Each structure stands twice: as C-alpha cells, then as structure tokens.
Amino acid sequence: MKKTLFLTYGVLSYLFFFCTFLYAVGFVDNLVVPKSIDGTPGVPLLQAILTNTAFLLLFAVQHSVMARPAFKRWWTQFVPQPIERSTFVLFTSIILSSMFVFWEPMGGVIWQTENQTAQIALTALSLTGSGIVLLATFLTNHFDLFGLRQVWLYFRGKEYTQLPFRVPFLYKYVRHPLYLGFLIAFWSTPVMTITHLLFAVATTGYILTAIQLEERDMISHFGQRYRDYRKQVPMILPIPKKSSPRPESAENLV
C-alpha cells in the first residue's frame, strides 16, 4: 500500500511540476497563459517591486536550501527517502505557481523592437532556451531529477543508486546547459519591460549563485573528476578553454 501511495505521490508531484514548467514558458514569453510577466500595472510601483522580489527570493532560498546535501540528510529524518525529491519538486512548483498568481506587472519599457521579423526571432530564441532547459534534464536523467526514478525503484522494491559520472552532448560544451537555457529564455524578448528586467536580473543573480553552490557539492561528491571536468569545460558560455580537450565523460550536474 505504501509503495503505491509513494508512486502516486511522485507521479502527481511530477505532473504538477510539468504543468508549472509549461505555464512558466508562456509566462515569460507572454504567450497563451491568462496571466504573464507583463501586463497593465494594478498596484503602486513599490508594492509591485516588493511583491515580485519576495516571491523571487522565496524561490531562490527554497530551491537552494532544499537542494543541499546537509539539508537532505536532516530533511529525510521526517520525509521518507523515496519521496524526498518529489517533495522538493512539489514545494518548488507550489512557490512558482503562487508567484504566477500574485505577480504584479510594473509597466515601463526599457527597450523594444518594432521589426516583426526580429520580434518573432527573439520569441523563438526564448522558446529555444526553454527547450534547452528541458533537453538538459533528459541528457542527465529527467526522471531522477524530478523524483520519478526514486519512487519507481521503491515501488519495485529496488534500492536507489546514484547516477554515474558522465558527459552527454551539451555537457561537453558547457558545465551548466540547463542554466544557459534559462538565461537565453529570460533575456531574449522583443519588449524588455521594467517587470521583465527585474525578473531577468534577479534570476540571473540566483543562477550565478546556485552554480557556485552546486559545483561545491559536485566537488565534494566527485572529487578530482569534477575538478578536471571544470578545468576542461567552461561554466555557462560555450567558449572553449585554451589547450583543454573536450571531455569524454561527465555527470548529472543538478
């Protein structure tokens, strides 16, 4: 019975996440969804800044703290190990969904392009960035990253095993293609409003901080293998390092 409950919990948490991710794509690109990043301001500017910043900060703290090994060791005293990752995914989705609901547009245009071809190209580039994010999760292990592998193994009565150190495709060119995809998605827009700029700057700051935390964990876990990988492959921009051959193997970087 418990195995079935855990599996159901993991699947529902994943489905909630995937719907949240799809909504996030529309939210950032002002496409399809009922409420997106831009719109008509409905509250005073200061209130909008405080509200939006609070949600962005809440996401950054939750996502960074709950992803750390030390927190996981403490957290799994209360949350069963097989659903720890699903619970992390669920909390992240709840915070993001709440941000979408309570997000406050602030108006004001920083830059924009009137050329229709350029508008389409920038929107397409942003969507490509979101596609890179999704692809990067599958290049490592999409189902492990979002908790499905853990609950499935538990359901089948098998012990969870850590993913091996390897380098799939994009990870041969940058250490963090997932974050590169986010940056492309967030900064590629035909109309950069004050609201969008706040979002882009805040998330970029979070990404650069998160990379440092994640790489510290990777070095702690993989040791010299990750140090060598870091010497050979650039962090986030695919600019080859001098005299550094492209690696033949890497790991799950998230």
pLDDT in tens, 52-88: 999 999 999 999 999 999 999 999 999 999 999 999 9
- What are the residues whose beta carbons fall under 8 Å from the beta carbon of 68, sequence distance 6 or more? 213, 217
Per-residue confidence at 169, pLDDT binned at 50, 70, 90?
Answer: very high
Sign of the torsion angle spanned by Cα atoms 192, 194, 199, 204 = positive
Would you state the pLDDT for residue 252? 40
Q: Global pTM?
A: 0.93
Nearest by Cα to 182 from 143, 144, 132, 219:
132
Over 50: is that where the pLDDT of 30 sits? yes
As beta bridge partners, residue 192 has 111
Average pLDDT value over all residues in the chain: 94
User: Is 199 buried (19+), middle (13-18) or exposed (0-12) by CB count in 10 A?
Assistant: buried
Residue 248 has pLDDT above 80, yes or no: no
Task: Please tell me the predicted confidence (pLDDT) of residue 41.
Answer: 95
What is the per-residue pLDDT for 239?
87
| Coil, strand or helix at 191 | strand
Place 246 in a pLDDT band, splitting at 50, 70 and 90.
low
Question: How many angstroms separate the Cα of 21 from the Cα of each of 50, 88, 90, 197, 229?
Answer: 24, 15, 12, 20, 30
Give the whole-number percent of the chain exceeding pLDDT 70. 95
Using the CB atoms, write b or e for 39-73: b if 16+ within 10 Å.
eebeeeeeebbebbeebbeebbebbeebbeeeeee
pLDDT, tens digit, 9 for 90 and up, residues 206-219: 999 999 999 999 99
In the numeric block, the tokens 């380098």 are attached to 167
pLDDT at 15 over 50: yes
